[in-house]
Amino acid sequence: MALADLLKEKSILVVCGSGGVGKTTISASLALAAAMEGRKVLVCTIDPAKRLADSLGLKELGNKETRIPDLVFAQAGLAPKGELWGMMLDSKTTFDELICRIAPDEVVRNRVLNNPFYQNITTALAGSQEFSATEKLFELACRNEYDLIVLDTPPTRHALDFLDAPNRLTSFLDAKVIAWFVGPYLKASKLGFKFLNSGASMAFRVLEKVTGYQTLADIADFFLVFEGLYDGFAARAAKVRQLMSDPATAFVLVTSPQSPSLLEASFFLDRLICEKMPLGEVIFNRVYTSPTNLGSDEVKALGRQSVEKLPGHKTAIDALCANLRLAILLAEADKRSIRHFLEQSSRPLESVRVPFMRTDIHDMAGLHTVCRYLAE
Amino acid sequence: MSLEAIFDKRIVFMTGKGGVGKTTLSMALAWAAQERGKNVILMEVDKSPNLRYILGKDIPVYKETRIAPRLAVFTLEPFKALEEYAALQIKVAAAAKLFLNNRFVSYFMQAAPGWRELVTVGKIWHTHQRTVGRGKNKRPEYDMIVVDAPATGHGLSFLRVPAIFADILKFGRMQSQTKDLLDMLRDPERTVVNVVSLPEEMPLNEAVTLADMAKSTMGMQVGVTFMNGVHPEPFLPDEKAACDNLLSDEAARNTLDQIWPCSGKALFDAAADRQARAQSCRQYLELAAKRLPTPIVELPYEYPGRVDMDGVKRLANLISQALCGGV
Ligand SMILES: Nc1ncnc2c1ncn2[C@@H]1O[C@H](COP(=O)(O)OP(=O)(O)OP(=O)(O)O)[C@@H](O)[C@H]1O
Ligand SMILES: [Mg+2]
């Protein structure tokens, strides 16, 4: 499906890619493109460039949605037919909100929220950001207030982390593990370790030896309280997963043609296919483009001719030609890696290319320039 | 701290946003240090394909691999580090294996927070403790450990975790061990954090946050910021003057337009592209000088955006020059 159609028809676009490839910029541009065409769009981002957020009038972009003011569009000479909203994900707040939602009463809620172990896992646990991103997405999707939500995923080392992290977190909080973990703690206080199964009791003794008793008590207490919440938690996680493979959802992969990120990208694609997640589009960002169709050798020959006619300008012509030939070389290298990537894929892929811009994109006009390439 | 003193530190962390060139520059710094006669080990926290690309071969995980007489590389792996640590604690390796292979323990460990970072720093600590020789010949096995830290986000938490654990752990053997780790991280004689960044907005923001976090939150010494990938001016000064001269010579430009099929515009467009890029880099460098508390070392963008071992050696040279004014 062409990107223009995705923007018209889908209700969720999940924008993935490894760090540093320009995910946030592309997400914002995708959202802008859809808003221009009349949809009510929310772009949900993790860590927007401050200059971009500022110039969009999103000074205090917090865990709640803010509408981009008309003035910002007017200044860039744009008149969107729809609405563009932005928000920034705050992992800790999202977690806390989730606990509040699934806790049966205030006592349980506070016991979780105030537990030192809980406070650590919501910020330090690998995957908590990814988890809360999908959680927030689910909540927003349930509210049904937007025609389209564009989710800019957290900056992960591997694009794959985004798919794996929520599962890892859920299994970490799994009831069976909780029972194992809390069980010996409770029993030990009454009976001593010797009545436990030997593996568990030894594991527990080792842990206590290295971490100290109070630590285990905090952890055990957390799991004890959380045990009652787990079903609610897991049920939600399952629904989130469903949402991810819904036909109204599409994944967009952003990558740059420079090879380390391309390698990541192909792993990610295979994985999406294998998980039956709907892949929409591959966006190549920061692609070197050439300002001419001439080849490097042609430039060389033309350069020689030019010097013959204008010997006084030899220094300038030589320098300009060398520079143009470098541009051609870089563009050809990128073209080759993109072609190779697309040919290697086990499935035909829709793709677009966004050139390596002269400067950073940090305002509405810049985003709109990117939109034009996305529409091609 | 003088810049040169970086080469006298025992542990040098290289940190920064994803993809800014941490691995490349960690390798370059390690190379520069071994050229200066130091015994160096490069420890990478995450296995990186790029290091293998630079070395031109695959290297095993969790095994010291010597790549030059005074330079070894080592890829950390948390489960292996945990196994090693557990064996040291329990004394009986078989019991440690039994413990870690317990179905629930391994299930739990797959997801449990923090321990990966903790054992990683623990392994670095352990490596810095190792000595060779006896009596008055006794000295550290490695003069310098260069740590290629993971991308920020978890790069920060990786150094923050010992402090978090120091908070959580009330008693126990691990509590005092964690304190040793913290002491090592916070000792300005032994340890320094360098930041790697690019002359672009987000990497610069991240570098500012990082330098600040390392210093105020974690109490670590911050060394220099490497501004990597600086696009050089495309033209030498006389070339630049000649180009300007050509631009203002209308007759000459008409001649060019006749020779070049789609006019001479491409020549000037390509030049403008690279000049704009160089200028944008200059602007961010100025901003960096204002916003960063550290000295800045500039390193050039190497076309075509991929650095091999020869490139690493060139960068190593530049680093040596910048830190010490020549080797
Ligand atoms: N000075 C430079 N000029 C051109 N390309 C560079 C330069 N430094 C690094 N690169 C290239 O940038 C890419 C990323 O570099 P590198 O792997 O060192 O980054 P990193 O920060 O370690 O990334 P990660 O966060 O993924 O570990 C590599 O392809 C590398 O060759
Ligand atoms: Mg790296």
Q: How confident is the model at residue A192 (pLDDT cuts 50, 70, 90)?
A: very low
List C-alpha distances in Å: B190 to A168, B10, B209.
Answer: 37, 5, 23
Domain annotation covers residue A100: no
- Averaged pLDDT, B115-132: 91
Which ligand is nearest to the Cα of residue A264, counting in written order?
A: 1
Judgement on whether residues A144 and A278 belong to the same structural domain of the protein: yes
Highest mean pLDDT pick, A121-125, A329-333, B169-173, B201-205 = A329-333
Start-end of H helices in chain B: 22-35, 49-55, 78-90, 93-101, 103-111, 115-129, 154-168, 173-186, 201-212, 237-248, 250-259, 265-291, 309-324
CATH number at residue A9: 3.40.50.300
What is the count of residue pairs from A and B with beta carbons less than 8 Å apart? Answer: 216
Ligand 1 pocket residue status of B48, Cβ below 6 Å: yes
The residue assigned the tokens 């957020």 is A53
Domain annotation covers residue B142: yes
**Identity of the residue numbered B184:** M
Give the residue on B whose Cα is nearest the Cα of A129. B153
Judgement on whether residues A211 and A329 belong to the same structural domain of the protein: no
- pTM of the shown model: 0.84
Report the pLDDT value the prediction gives residue B217, as an integer from 0 to 100: 85
Domain annotation covers residue A208: yes
As a whole-number percent, the residues of chain B with pLDDT over 70 amount to 88
From A177, A148, A23, A141, select the one nearest A84 (Cα to Cα): A148
Report the pLDDT value the prediction gives residue A186, as an integer from 0 to 100: 54
Token pair, residue B289, equals 């000088």
The 3-state DSSP class for residue B296 equals strand
In terms of residue numbers, what domain contains A198?
174-232
Domain annotation covers residue A117: no
Residue scoring higher pLDDT (B162 or A110): A110
Query: Are the C-beta atoms of residues B116 and B16 closer than 8 Å to each other?
Result: no
Asked if A51 lies within 8 A of B201 by C-beta distance, the reply is yes
Which residue, A232, A256, A271, sits at the end of a domain? A232
Question: Looking at ligand 1, which atom is closest to the CA of residue B51?
Answer: 17
Judgement on whether residues A165 and A183 belong to the same structural domain of the protein: no
Report the pLDDT value the prediction gives residue B306, as an integer from 0 to 100: 84
Residue with CA closest to ligand 1 atom 28:
B306
Judgement on whether residues A287 and A300 belong to the same structural domain of the protein: no
Least confident segment among A2-11, A188-197, A291-300: A188-197
As a whole-number percent, the residues of chain A with pLDDT over 90 amount to 38
Residue B214 per-residue DSSP state: I
Mean pLDDT of chain B: 89
Report the pLDDT value the prediction gives residue A201, as an integer from 0 to 100: 58
Domain annotation covers residue B251: no
The 3-state DSSP class for residue B79 equals helix
Domain annotation covers residue B86: yes
Asked if B267 lies within 8 A of A320 by C-beta distance, the reply is yes
Domain annotation covers residue A300: yes
A261 close contact with B: CB closer than 8 A: yes
Judgement on whether residues A86 and A227 belong to the same structural domain of the protein: no
Judgement on whether residues A249 and A134 belong to the same structural domain of the protein: yes
Domain annotation covers residue A48: yes
B197: CA distance to ligand 2 center in Å? 13
In angstroms, what separates the C-alpha of A11 from chain B's closest C-alpha?
A: 29
Domain annotation covers residue A197: yes
Nearest to B246 among A123, A210, A316 (CB): A316
Domain annotation covers residue B278: no
ipTM > 0.90, yes or no: no
- Averaged pLDDT, B31-44: 97
Asked if B270 lies within 8 A of A120 by C-beta distance, the reply is no
Residue A89: φ, ψ to 5°: -80, 135
Judgement on whether residues A146 and A68 belong to the same structural domain of the protein: yes
A121 bridge partner residues: none
Query: Are the C-beta atoms of residues B83 and B130 closer than 8 Å to each other?
Result: no
- Averaged pLDDT, B154-173: 68
Least confident segment among A11-15, A50-54, A365-369, B119-123: A50-54
Judgement on whether residues A164 and A184 belong to the same structural domain of the protein: no
From A173, A145, A251, A262, select the one nearest B50 (Cα to Cα): A262
Report the pLDDT value the prediction gives residue B309, as an integer from 0 to 100: 97
| The total number of structural domains that make up chain A | 3
Report the pLDDT value the prediction gives residue A191, as an integer from 0 to 100: 44
A117 close contact with B: CB closer than 8 A: yes
Mean pLDDT of chain A: 82
Residue A194: pLDDT over 50: no
Omega before A116 cis (within 30°)? no
Asked if A199 lies within 8 A of B239 by C-beta distance, the reply is no
| The total number of structural domains that make up chain B | 1
Q: How far apart, in whole angstroms, are the C-alpha atoms of residue B104 and residue B108?
A: 6
Report the pLDDT value the prediction gives residue A305, as an integer from 0 to 100: 95
Residue B216 per-residue DSSP state: I
Domain annotation covers residue A46: yes
Strands A279-287 and B131-132: unpaired
Question: Looking at ligand 1, which atom is closest to the CA of residue A157?
Answer: 26
Token pair, residue B137, equals 């010949």
Residue scoring higher pLDDT (B94 or B184): B184
Residue with CA closest to ligand 1 atom 11:
B306
Q: How confident is the model at residue A221 (pLDDT cuts 50, 70, 90)?
A: confident
Domain annotation covers residue B228: yes
* Sequence-distant (≥ 6) Cβ neighbours of residue A219 within 8 angstroms: A117, A181
B125: CA distance to ligand 2 center in Å? 21
Judgement on whether residues A164 and A269 belong to the same structural domain of the protein: yes
- Averaged pLDDT, A350-371: 90
From A293, A355, A290, select the one nearest A323 (Cα to Cα): A290
List C-alpha distances in Å: A221 to A108, A224, B164.
Answer: 11, 5, 19
The residue assigned the tokens 């527990």 is A204
Residue A199: pLDDT over 90: no
Judgement on whether residues A271 and A328 belong to the same structural domain of the protein: no
CATH number at residue B27: 3.40.50.300
Report the pLDDT value the prediction gives residue B270, as an integer from 0 to 100: 94
Q: How far apart, in whole angstroms, are the C-alpha atoms of residue B286 and residue B264?
A: 34
Instruction: Go through B175-199 and write b for each residue having 16 or more CB atoms within 10 A of its CB, e for each that does not.
Output: bebbeebbebbebeebbbbbbbbbb
Least confident segment among A45-49, A151-155, B210-214: A45-49
Domain annotation covers residue B283: no
Q: How far apart, in whole angstroms, are the C-alpha atoms of residue B19 and residue A286?
A: 14
Q: How far apart, in whole angstroms, are the C-alpha atoms of residue B64 and residue A174?
A: 37
The residue assigned the tokens 């050798």 is A297
Pocket test for ligand 1, best of B307, B315, B319 (most atoms within 8 A of CB): B307
In what order do the strands lie in the sheet containing B144-148? B65-68, B71-75, B40-44, B144-148, B11-16, B191-197, B222-230, B296-300
In terms of residue numbers, what domain contains B117?
3-232+293-324
Query: Are the C-beta atoms of residues B312 and B31 closer than 8 Å to each other?
Result: yes
Domain annotation covers residue A58: yes
Domain annotation covers residue B313: yes
Residue A190: pLDDT over 50: no
From A154, A140, A153, A152, select the one nearest A40 (Cα to Cα): A140
* Sequence-distant (≥ 6) Cβ neighbours of residue B134 within 8 angstroms: none
The 3-state DSSP class for residue B324 equals helix
- Averaged pLDDT, A90-117: 85
- Averaged pLDDT, A135-159: 85
Helix (H) or strand (E) holding B226: strand B222-230
Judgement on whether residues A203 and A321 belong to the same structural domain of the protein: no
Residue B194: φ, ψ to 5°: -105, 150
Ligand 1 pocket residue status of B221, Cβ below 6 Å: no
Query: Are the C-beta atoms of residues B141 and B130 closer than 8 Å to each other?
Result: yes
Question: Looking at ligand 1, which atom is closest to the CA of residue A18?
Answer: 26
Judgement on whether residues A40 and A159 belong to the same structural domain of the protein: yes
Q: How confident is the model at residue A202 (pLDDT cuts 50, 70, 90)?
A: low
Domain annotation covers residue B11: yes
